[in-house]
Amino acid sequence: MSPQANNERVGDAHWAELMARIADNRDKNAFSRVYDHFAPRVKSYLLGQGAQEALADELLQAALLQVWEKAGQFNARVGSLSTWIYRIARNRYFDHLRRERVRDRPPPDAWLQQEDEFEREVHGGTQTEVERERLSVENALKQLPSRQAQVLYMSFYQGKTHVEIAGEMDIPLGSVKSSLRLAFEKLRCSLGAHL
Amino acid sequence: MNMLFHPDDATLASYAACGVERNYSIVLDLHIRECRHCQQRISDADHIGGALLQALPAAPLGQEQKAAVMALLDGIAPAPGVKAPAPAPEEMPKILEVLRNWRQADLDALPWKPMAPGIRRIPIEVPQGRLNLLRIAPGTCLPVHSHQGNELTMVLRGSFSDEIGRFTPGNVADLDDDVEHQPIADRDEDCICLVATDAPLRFRDWLPQLLQPLFRL
């Protein structure tokens, strides 16, 4: 797949190449492209979680600097760059909440982030597969019924608990769980390959 | 480790998105650490999170902010291409340390307090919700109860059975307010389990109400 520098919806192979250039050559131009695409989305994510503007800016800066520093740890075979950056942003945000003693909800155990071998084995993906997966998840997202989409959004993007979602949507806890279960199932199926 | 009973997919998805309170994540950590099935679910949830990030609208960002980041790049040395070693475990209360190594730990040495005939417990301090270690004598029948909210139980030793099945160490019962159940500790040995709840258990008849202090209601 050839890089399409001017197309915003560049493929995963392109991101992988940019990340390799950052890791190998400390290529600022490559980093600048990664920044342009992901920094605004990371900011959206942080604002959605409820971070104030200044905090969102501070955390997004730290997250993107981490992308620069740890570019060599990104492995395009086990997942897309957006997943890698999502984890960085999520962990930064929830670690911040813990440090500030706002909320004690640690990100999934650190060991989980390190099970590189495990993921490789399961996804076993080439870059094209990784990209196909991502597009297929995005497609499945668009087709979710509205309640499922809303519950998924509140869960992944606002970090709300089942109880909080039930309260806000004024639906029974069991409905929150079943909606989220169904949405997760559909999206998981669209991840495809390993199921 | 082969497990028969896992947390609900909805619970795992929320765990991955940091959307469960601490009492639940303590229980979940213990199960997931041993369970490849659930590790896979968490990994899937993160891939979905990545696709969601990709699909988010771009928030406006100032050029000066990017300039500030670009200016910092030269001062940062690249991290080695291999993953960093696991961070040192954070300071945690002694009881949580014991739980982390529950398969090796001497659970008998813990300060069990009698609560009701056949039942002892240790309450564990958490910022949100409730977390209790329960130790149930062989053959003891817990009252029929349903839940206002969730109840997540993992067996650490022995086993219990209810309408759903027989739960052995490492297995998790993930129940919400739709489910009414009556767990019975199996006959061979004490059943020790870790139970997280967010709301008081509701008992169906008057007798078990006597047991409510058991759950710190």
Contact A156, B49 (CB under 8 A): yes
Cβ–Cβ contact A33 with B under 8 A: no
Please indicate, yes or no, whether residues A33 and A104 belong to a single structural domain of this protein: yes
A100 inside domain: yes
What is the percent of chain B with per-residue pLDDT over 70, rounded to a whole number? 82
Domains of chain B: 1-55+94-217 (2.60.120.10)
Please indicate, yes or no, whether residues A121 and A180 belong to a single structural domain of this protein: no
Please indicate, yes or no, whether residues A62 and A114 belong to a single structural domain of this protein: yes
- Give the number of residues written for chain B: 217
Q: How far apart are CA A66 and CA A48, in angstroms?
A: 21
ipTM associated with this complex: 0.87
B56's CB contacts (< 8 A; 6+ apart) are A41, A44, A45, A48, A157
Q: A163, B198: Cβ pair inside 8 Å?
A: yes
Q: Give the one of B20, B40, B78 whose C-beta lies nearest to A69's C-beta.
A: B78
Q: Which of B8, B9, B14 to mutate to test the interface with A (most CBs of A within 10 A)?
A: B14
A176 inside domain: yes
For range A28-52, the mean pLDDT? 96
Q: What is the DSSP string of A41-95?
A: HHHHHHHHHT--HHHHHHHHHHHHHHHHHTGGG--TTTS-HHHHHHHHHHHHHHH
Q: Give the one of B33, B52, B69 whose C-beta lies nearest to A111's C-beta.
A: B33
- Range in A139-153, B134-148, B156-170 the model is least confident about: B134-148
- Exposure pattern of A88-101 as b/e (b: 16+ CB <10 Å)? bbbbbbbebbbeee
Please indicate, yes or no, whether residues A195 and A118 belong to a single structural domain of this protein: no
Q: A177, B82: Cβ pair inside 8 Å?
A: no
Q: Give the one of A42, A71, A105 whose C-beta lies nearest to B21's C-beta.
A: A105
Cβ–Cβ contact A124 with B under 8 A: no
A82 inside domain: yes
B66's CB contacts (< 8 A; 6+ apart) are A32, A35, A36, A39
The enclosing domain of A50 has a CATH number of 1.10.1740.10
Residue A125 has pLDDT above 60, yes or no: no
Q: How far apart are CA B76 and CA A124, in angstroms?
A: 32
Residue A62 has pLDDT above 70, yes or no: yes
Please indicate, yes or no, whether residues A101 and A188 belong to a single structural domain of this protein: no
Domain total in chain A: 2
Please indicate, yes or no, whether residues A43 and A110 belong to a single structural domain of this protein: yes
- Range in A22-36, A41-55, B82-96 the model is least confident about: B82-96
Chain A, residues 66-95, CB within 8 A of chain B, namely: 68-73, 79-80, 82-87, 89-90, 94
**Contact residues, chain A, for B55 at CB < 8 Å:** 138, 141
* CA of residue A147 relative to chain centroid, distance: 21
Q: How confident is the model at residue B1 (pLDDT cuts 50, 70, 90)?
A: low
The pLDDT score that the predictor gives to residue A155 is: 95
Q: For B87-114, how does the pLDDT look when each residue is reduced to its tens digit (9 = 90+)? A: 555 566 789 889 999 999 999 999 999 8
CA dist B53 → A81, B147, B149 (Å) = 10, 35, 30
Counted across chains A and B, CB pairs separated by less than 8 A come out at 228
Tokens of A150: 């809303």
Between A7 and B75, the higher pLDDT residue: B75
Write down the residue that tokens 């999170």 correspond to: B49
What is the percent of chain B with per-residue pLDDT over 90, rounded to a whole number? 51
* CA of residue B125 relative to chain centroid, distance: 14
- Range in A120-134, B88-102, B170-184 the model is least confident about: A120-134
Q: For B7-65, how does the pLDDT look when each residue is reduced to its tens digit (9 = 90+)? A: 999 999 999 999 999 999 999 999 999 999 999 999 999 989 998 898 888 999 989 99
Please indicate, yes or no, whether residues A89 and A160 belong to a single structural domain of this protein: no
CA dist A84 → A2, A80, B32, B95, B185 (Å) = 22, 7, 21, 33, 44
Q: How far apart are CA B110 and CA B53, in angstroms?
A: 45
Please indicate, yes or no, whether residues A118 and A76 belong to a single structural domain of this protein: yes
Q: Which residue of B has its CA nearest to A27?
A: B73
* CA of residue A105 relative to chain centroid, distance: 17
The pLDDT score that the predictor gives to residue A31 is: 97
Write down the residue that tokens 């130790």 correspond to: B135
Count H helices and E strands in chain B, helices first.
Answer: 6, 12
Q: For A166-180, how does the pLDDT look when each residue is reduced to its tens digit (9 = 90+)? A: 999 999 988 999 999
Contact A76, A16 (CB under 8 A): yes
A1 inside domain: no
Q: How confident is the model at residue A139 (pLDDT cuts 50, 70, 90)?
A: confident
Domain end point (choices A125, A155, A187)? A125
Q: B65, A57: Cβ pair inside 8 Å?
A: yes
Cβ–Cβ contact B37 with A under 8 A: no
Residue B85 has pLDDT above 60, yes or no: no
A135 inside domain: no
Q: B49, A83: Cβ pair inside 8 Å?
A: yes
Which one, of A166, A79, A125, lies nearest residue B14 by Cα? A166
Residue B126 has pLDDT above 80, yes or no: yes
Reported for B78-87, long-range contacts at CB under 8 A and 24+ positions apart, including other chains, are B78/A23, B78/A26, B78/A69, B78/A70, B78/A71, B78/A72, B79/A69, B79/A70, B79/A72, B79/A73, B80/A72, B81/A23, B81/A72, B81/A73, B82/A73, B83/A73, B83/A113, B83/A114, B83/A116, B84/A73, B86/A110, B86/A111, B86/A114, B87/A110
Q: Which residue of B has its CA nearest to A136?
A: B51
Q: Which residue of B has its CA nearest to A31?
A: B70
The answer to whether the Cα torsion of A15, A87, B90, B193 is positive or negative is negative
A86 inside domain: yes
At CA A154, angle to CA A183 and CA B11, rounded to 5? 55
Please indicate, yes or no, whether residues A105 and A151 belong to a single structural domain of this protein: no
Please indicate, yes or no, whether residues A23 and A64 belong to a single structural domain of this protein: yes
Q: Give the one of A61, A86, A172 whose C-beta lies nearest to B49's C-beta.
A: A86
Q: How confident is the model at residue B157 (pLDDT cuts 50, 70, 90)?
A: very high
Residue A114 has pLDDT above 80, yes or no: no
The enclosing domain of A157 has a CATH number of 1.10.10.10
A131 inside domain: no
Domain end point (choices A73, A97, A125)? A125
The pLDDT score that the predictor gives to residue A121 is: 43
What is the percent of chain A with per-residue pLDDT over 70, rounded to a whole number? 82
Q: How confident is the model at residue A195 (pLDDT cuts 50, 70, 90)?
A: very low
Q: How far apart are CA A129 and CA A134, in angstroms?
A: 9
The pLDDT score that the predictor gives to residue A76 is: 86
The pLDDT score that the predictor gives to residue A110 is: 56
Directed axis angle between helix B22-32 and helix B36-55, to 10°? 120
Q: How far apart are CA B217 and CA B202, in angstroms?
A: 10
**In whole numbers, what is the pLDDT of chain B averaged over residues?**
84
Between B82 and A130, the higher pLDDT residue: A130
Please indicate, yes or no, whether residues A88 and A166 belong to a single structural domain of this protein: no
Distance from CA of A146 to the nearest CA of B (A): 15
At B184 the three-state DSSP class reads strand
Considering only CA atoms, give the Rg of chain A: 17
Q: How confident is the model at residue A194 (pLDDT cuts 50, 70, 90)?
A: very low
Q: In terms of residue numbers, what domain contains A106?
A: 12-125
**In whole numbers, what is the pLDDT of chain A averaged over residues?**
84
A136 inside domain: no
Contact A127, A13 (CB under 8 A): yes
The pLDDT score that the predictor gives to residue A126 is: 63
The pLDDT score that the predictor gives to residue A78 is: 81
